[in-house]
């Protein structure tokens, strides 16, 4: 394996760097996008239940904010009412939507980096192959001069196969990265829909507390 890497030349090292970065980002996204960190299933019902008789204490709101991404959105509604119990529905909605945008940006963090790696890795592999082919044919021409019959077919075939390792490794990096990017993209979209629906339901509950 090491001999293949050495023979493939320097273009394969950026691909190794991309593969390590992609693995790190995939692991980070798996940890950050766990359902317990984003939208625990019972959290909305618990927040509504704890505020049936009125706004909860500041300590409870802080605990809710630290619970998850959904908790942050719900806590922003509580904080808006704590700040101004008679705030309008538009102001209350604006406060929750502003928090929701921050949460959405955090959920989508690093997804663009994964998409970039998935798009760039095949091109980097192709670049390595082209560079390898140029070097192979350049060395063949230098060794044989103008006499084409003196070229070594075995050496040429070996050189071509080594150059193609760059393309193969580029695809090996790009394909899993693309799969995981699509998976995380769909997962984030599902979370955002869940947060939006929960925020709408919670907003109706907060409006009842204002009256």
Nearest to residue 11, comparing CAs of 120, 115, 140, 158? 120
pLDDT of residue 28: 96
Q: What is the pLDDT of residues 45-100, one digit of tens each?
A: 999 999 888 888 999 999 999 999 999 999 999 999 988 888 888 999 999 999 99
**CA–CA gap between residue 148 and residue 140 (Å, rounded):** 9
Contact 107, 37 (CB under 8 A): no
Q: What is the pLDDT of residues 133-173, one digit of tens each?
A: 777 776 665 555 544 445 566 667 666 777 788 888 899 99
**CA–CA gap between residue 31 and residue 95 (Å, rounded):** 28
Domain limits at 72?
2-210
Nearest to residue 13, comparing CAs of 170, 172, 139? 170
Tokens standing for residue 208? 């009842």
Is the model's pLDDT at 181 over the cut of 70?
yes
3-state secondary structure of 124: helix
Structural domain count of the chain: 1
């Amino acid at each position: 394996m090491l001999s293949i890497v050495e023979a493939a030349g320097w273009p394969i090292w950026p691909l190794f760097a991309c593969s390590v970065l992609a693995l790190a980002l995939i692991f980070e996204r798996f940890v950050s996008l766990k359902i317990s960190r984003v939208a625990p299933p019972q959290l909305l019902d618990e927040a509504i239940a704890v505020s049936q008789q009125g706004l909860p204490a500041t300590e409870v709101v802080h605990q809710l904010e630290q619970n998850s991404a959904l908790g942050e959105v719900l806590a922003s509604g509580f904080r808006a009412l704590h700040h101004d119990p008679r705030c309008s529905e538009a102001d209350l909605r604006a406060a929750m939507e502003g928090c929701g945008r921050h949460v959405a940006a955090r959920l989508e963090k690093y997804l663009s980096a994964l998409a970039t790696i998935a798009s760039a890795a095949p091109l980097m592999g192709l670049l390595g192959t082209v560079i390898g082919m140029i070097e192979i044919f350049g060395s063949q021409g230098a060794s044989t001069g103008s006499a084409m019959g003196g070229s070594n077919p075995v050496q040429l075939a070996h050189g071509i196969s080594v150059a193609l390792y760059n393309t193969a490794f580029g695809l090996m990096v790009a394909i899993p990265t693309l799969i995981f990017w699509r998976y995380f993209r769909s997962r984030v979209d599902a979370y955002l829909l869940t947060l939006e629906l929960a925020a709408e339901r919670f907003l109706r509950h907060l409006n009842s507390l204002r009256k």
